Amino acid sequence: MFTECDFLLGENHGVTIVVPVKLPPAETYTVSISPRDVKFRAGHEPIAHFSFRCAEVFKRLSDASQVGVVECPAGEPFPDCITALAYVELRGDHS
C-alpha cells in the first residue's frame, strides 16, 4: 500500500507518523517496529513493510503504547489533525 512514511518529532518525546495514503477501514491499526524495519497492519491485514533505521524515532516509539497517524495522500492538503491512532508493537532486539 505504501513504501515509506515520515515522522514528526515533537516536544516531550512525542512522535506522529505521516503516511502518504488513506488507510483502509479497520477497527484497529498497528505499527510493529524493530531497529531494522517497520510494519503496518489494518486489523490483522498487513498493509506496509519497509526498512527503517532511525534510533531517535525507534526510541520514541518504543516508549509509546499508541501513536498518532496523519493520512496525507499526495496532492492533498496536509490535515490539521491526527486522522488515526495505531498501537505500537515492538519486535526483535530492542538494544
* Residue 17 belongs to some domain of the structure: yes
* Residue 38 belongs to some domain of the structure: yes
Residue 33 sits in which domain range?
A: 6-90
* Residue 33 belongs to some domain of the structure: yes
What is the value of pTM for the model shown?
Answer: 0.92
pLDDT, position 92: 75
* Residue 1 belongs to some domain of the structure: no
pLDDT, position 94: 55
> How does 42-74 read in b/e, with b if 16+ C-beta sit within 10 Å?
beeeebbeeebeeeebbebbeeeeebbbbbbee
Can you say how many angstroms the Cα of residue 27 is from the centroid of all Cα atoms in its chain? 16
pLDDT-flagged residues of the chain (< 50): none
**pLDDT per residue as tens digits for the range 59-78:** 999 999 999 999 999 999 99
* Residue 42 belongs to some domain of the structure: yes
* Residue 82 belongs to some domain of the structure: yes
Q: How many domains does the chain have?
A: 1
pLDDT, position 57: 94
* Residue 22 belongs to some domain of the structure: yes
